[in-house]
Amino acid sequence: MKTFIACLGTETNTFSPIPTGEETFAETMLYHGDATSHEPSLFSGPLHVWRRAAELEQRKVVESLAAFAQPAGVTIRHVYEKFRDEILDDLRAAMPVEVVLINMHGAMVAEGYDDCEGDLLACIREIVGPDVIIGAELDLHCHISTAMMDNANVIVTFKEYPHIDPQERAQELFDICSAAARGSVRPRMATFDLNMINSYRTPMEPMKSFVARMQSLEGHNGVLSVSMSHCFPYGDVADVGAKMLVVTDNDTEQAQQVAQQLGQEIWDLREAIAAPRVTIDEALDLATKAPPGSVVLADVADNAGGGAPSDSTFVLQRLIETNTTSVLSGLYWDPVAVRFCLEAGEGSTLQLRIGGKCGPTSGTPVDLEVTVRGTLRNGTQSFGPSTNLTGDIVWVQSSNGIDLVLNATRTQVFNPDVFTQLGIDLGTYRIIVVKSTQHFYAGFEPIAAAIYYVSGPGTLTSDYGSIPFTKRTQPYWPKVEDPGHMQS
């Protein structure tokens, strides 16, 4: 019997000024049925796992679309519909199938579709009927909806932020769905709405222990899988907000109980979990007091991975105003400036207008005299086992002691190799500013004397209570102290 696999997703920041169309998918990942013939990326990794696992069980694999777009604003309607329909056409042609495994994000919004994943799962269910097992893997920054729960048999989300575990979760989902197809388990799911919006960094306590606690329940007493959807705070959709999700073997009531129990535990930790954030000036002050070495400052508000433009200049302006030197900062998404630098060539000195171009949340452009120190066509950076594209990338040095790395394909900073591939020696800088919220952490933590999360102006506010939602109707923490759903 056949296993059908596909991928369609993006994380939609409905407040972002950047439209998501076919170009963004093509630039990030777009394969029409042959993703597993190429190197695994962050987004295609699960498909590789599923193909390998299914073939080990002598199952035939039918592979459809694999499309993923760097997070940005709302997806253009006809682009979503075209990709969805390609998957559905492939599925119809592949029928009968036994298992459908689909890798999605869980926070994709298109024009006219606030819940793309729910829509896609409902369309898949309509084709395959009630008996085929449908498994969905989601990023933990997802909004779990009723339509998703009604149409999937099993949903598994990443457990780790930074996302170091998509392939492990893919195996987890495969194992449950495969067992379900054999009839040896009957997956039942339940969610518990936490009514909270927060940032949960899983390498740190108390989240580290909470993830271990979730995993300790799996495989015992009929609990098959435990997920926590952290939610994506910048999606103006009815389901925005964190949820616990539990899958059990044929016991919905138990799934509900475990989800609620874990929900209470995470609710009790809400204050302890909240990431400490500092202002730009506080961060620069802390950097002067940190131990010797490189201090890493995360420009959280301009993280391309959350749909921000990655060209904001608020931190850069402040660095210049305070005469701060020995600074490296990136990645600035500025294809025009990159083009100028490539034209000028390494060693050239030129007047360069940098950043501040995408909208009010980008600030204003900064004009600097810079020397081009390094250039690279089609750069890459690693993230866990995957290789990710940066587009053309250049290293420029300003006359006032600030080095910047600009690139042509919008992406956040994942790993130090994004800088070192240009010949940059990170150890020579006192301050390294990375435009990222948390994915930089695994790569930079080993080389950082200290790390501070900077909550400056930009697209991604850290003040979750102030996000102007129009579609969520239920109160949530921290907008209100007590949404009234938990024991105090």
Q: Which residues contribute to the site for Zn ion (CB under 5 A)?
A: 139, 141
Is-contact 301 363, C-beta < 8 A? no
Cβ at position 305, least distance to Zn ion in Å: 7
Minimum Å gap between C-beta 164 and Zn ion is 11
Q: Which is nearer to Zn ion, 234 or 340 (CB)?
A: 234
Q: Write the burial class of residue 221 (CB in 10 Å: 0-12 exposed, 13-18 middle, 19+ buried).
A: exposed
Report in angstroms how near the CB of residue 400 gets to Zn ion at its nearest: 36
Least distance in Å: CB of 314 to Zn ion? 23
Closer residue to Zn ion (CB): 166 or 356: 166
CB of 129 to Zn ion, least distance (A): 32
* Cis peptide leading into residue 206 (ω within 30°): yes
Rounded to the nearest whole angstrom, what is the least distance from the CB of residue 15 to Zn ion in the complex?
17
Which residue has tokens 């679309």?
Answer: 65
By beta-carbon proximity to Zn ion, the closer residue of 141 and 472 is 141
Place of tokens 């579609």: 471
Order of strands across the sheet that contains 431-434: 277-278, 448-454, 294-299, 431-434, 327-333, 402-407, 386-398, 366-383, 349-354
Distance (Å, rounded) from C-alpha 43 to C-alpha 10?
10
Cβ atoms < 10 Å from Cβ of 127: 17
Residue with the shortest CB distance to Zn ion: 141
- Parallel, antiparallel, or unpaired for β 99-103 and 2-12? parallel
Question: With respect to Zn ion, which residue has the nearer C-beta, 25 or 68?
Answer: 68
Question: Closer to Zn ion at the Cβ: 241 or 374?
Answer: 241
Please tell me what DSSP assigns to residue 14: T
**Residues 197 and 472: beta-carbon distance below 8 Å:** no
Q: Kindly state the smallest distance separating residue 438's Cβ from Zn ion, in Å.
A: 9
Alpha-carbon 28 to chain mean position: 13
**Which of residues 4 and 234 has its CB atom nearest to Zn ion in the complex?**
234
Contact indicator for 89, 26 with CB cutoff of 8 Å? no
Residue 315 CA to residue 309 CA, distance in Å, equals 14
Question: 188 or 435: whose CB is closer to Zn ion?
Answer: 435
How far apart are the C-alpha atoms of 301 and 16, rounded to whole Å? 12
- How far, in Å, CA of 12 to CA of 20, rounded? 8
- Smaller CB separation from Zn ion, 84 or 141: 141
Other beta carbons within 10 angstroms of residue 400's beta carbon come to: 13
